[in-house]
Amino acid sequence: MSLGLYISVPFCRTKCSYCNFASDVFSRAVFERYVERVTADIHQAAETAEQMGGAWESSLDSIFLGGGTPTILDIAQLERIFVTISQKFAVQSGTEITVECAPGTLSPAMIDGLRRCGVNRVSLGVQSFVDLEAASVGRLHKRSTVLEEIARLRAAGIANINLDLIAGLPHQTAESWEFSIAEAIATGVPHLSVYILEVDEDSRLGRELMAGGTRYHAHFVPDDELTADLYETACERLQAAGLHQYEISNFAWPGQESRHNLKYWTRQPYLGFGVDAHSMLISASKKTEAVRFAAPDSLEEYVAARSPQKILVPAPAALEETFFLGLRLNRGVNLKQVETDFGESIPEPFSDAIQECLRSGLLERADDVIRLTPRGRLLSNEVFERFILNPTPVPCGTDTPVRRL
């Protein structure tokens, strides 16, 4: 099974107030040391996989550079990363190669550099097409910036574009959200991601909201009920426009789903390099088991080459992941396929969880397939918790994150 490759670039021009990820503003002097560390880790990938107990595979069909803002690096530094990947891995023809970009960082020279690197998909962290809302959380771009860069990308032959939007930003109203959704649809991009503002103690805005304060425009954040309405509005408008929901936060034209992110939700193997990058490989000894490992989440520790943190995923935990990751997808989980993959009938605790969610209207069932209802998507974390019998650290791609760009 071909791998996905994730490269973390934790550098930003500014730290957004909602950001709860391992990214920040650093001196450009650090960039070169970081690229050296990442490329060294890529060269050691096979040895690392063996040390972690994972099955090695050199064939790639997806590459994703995320952040942070990867396009804050120099073009030469980005090219060095891609050259190193091509030296170590067998990059298949037609591989999906995505780079996350903050609007305002895509100069003509940068776009040309991305093309030379083989990039064929770009994800733009727009968050809102209303300039007041974007500025309130520290975004540096304007609506016009986004539209100009979409046009430049298309002129350069990169038409596979995703836009990120966030429901629940300060100053957001039902009317302003309708405007952002309409603007996103009008761009004609084939993929949109819609995230709900995450409130926790790991971001400045989250901490201020929890404290009931007014810094970072916290007192202008819409309440939970309105935010839920905004999400439901997005689902309705995007579906009507032909952007079909295939995952809790993701919408696409048929055939334009993110190949890389699907690896996370369907438990396909992937390797991550860089600060706080996660990996998952099938166990080298048992097909129904896996191993996850993560790089340090601080820049200092990562550059110092600290060993990754390893988490074994035995068959019972793999079964848990199959449910709470698979249920993120609109297509749901096929119970017969689960029984085939794990060689046993669905254990009673999972059957009980399924029945409980069916009774409460959080899941629906059609033949052997269970999936979230629209209400279940809004309360997805409550559903997922019922399938986690022995809590372990949440693997990469399983939450509903606010994007970092």
CA gap 116, 168 in Å, rounded: 37
Query: Could you tell me the strand order of the sheet in which 278-282 lies?
Result: 244-247, 250-252, 191-196, 160-167, 121-127, 90-101, 59-67, 3-9, 270-273, 278-282, 290-294, 309-313
pLDDT, one tens digit per residue, over 117-146 is: 999 999 999 999 999 999 999 998 999 999
Closest CA to 260 of 99, 84, 50, 46: 99
Report the pLDDT averaged over residues 17-34. Answer: 86
Q: Which residue in this structure is represented by tokens 């009673």?
A: 348
Decide if pLDDT at 404 tops 90. no
295, HSE (Cβ side, Cα atoms, 13 Å)? 29
Q: What's the pTM value of the predicted model, to 2 decimals? A: 0.93
Closest CA to 156 of 118, 104, 102: 118
pLDDT for the residue 357? 97
Which residues, at least 6 apart from 99, have a Cβ–Cβ distance to it below 8 Å? 64, 65, 70, 71, 114, 119, 121, 122, 123
Instruction: For the chain, give every domain's residue range.
Output: 3-263
Listed range (17-31, 147-161, 214-228) with the worst mean pLDDT:
17-31
CA distances from 239 to 67, 157, 184, 242, 401 (A): 28, 26, 13, 5, 22
Return the amino acid letter for 106. L
The backbone torsions φ and ψ at residue 277, rounded to the nearest 5 degrees and listed phi first, read: -80, 135
Strand partners, 99: 65, 122
Return the amino acid letter for 157. G
CA gap 402, 99 in Å, rounded: 17
Could you tell me the maximum CA-CA distance found in the chain, to the nearest angstrom?
58
Q: Confidence class of residue 403 from pLDDT cuts 50, 70 and 90?
A: very low
Decide if pLDDT at 231 tops 80. yes
Q: Which residue in this structure is represented by tokens 């350069």?
A: 156
pLDDT for the residue 387? 95
pLDDT for the residue 395? 44
**Which option is the CATH number for 3-263: 3.80.30.20, 3.10.450.40, 3.40.50.1980, 1.10.3720.10?**
3.80.30.20
Radius of gyration of the chain (CA): 21
pLDDT, one tens digit per residue, over 276-330 is: 999 999 999 888 899 999 999 999 999 999 989 999 999 999 999 999 999 999 9
Structure tokens at 77: 């530094």
CA distances from 14 to 98, 160, 380 (A): 22, 26, 31
CA distances from 387 to 285, 308, 379 (A): 25, 27, 14
CA gap 298, 96 in Å, rounded: 28
Q: What is the DSSP string of 151-184?
A: HHHHHTT--EEEEEEEET-TT--HHHHHHHHHHH
Strands 3-9 and 270-273 come out as parallel
Q: Confidence class of residue 53 from pLDDT cuts 50, 70 and 90?
A: very high
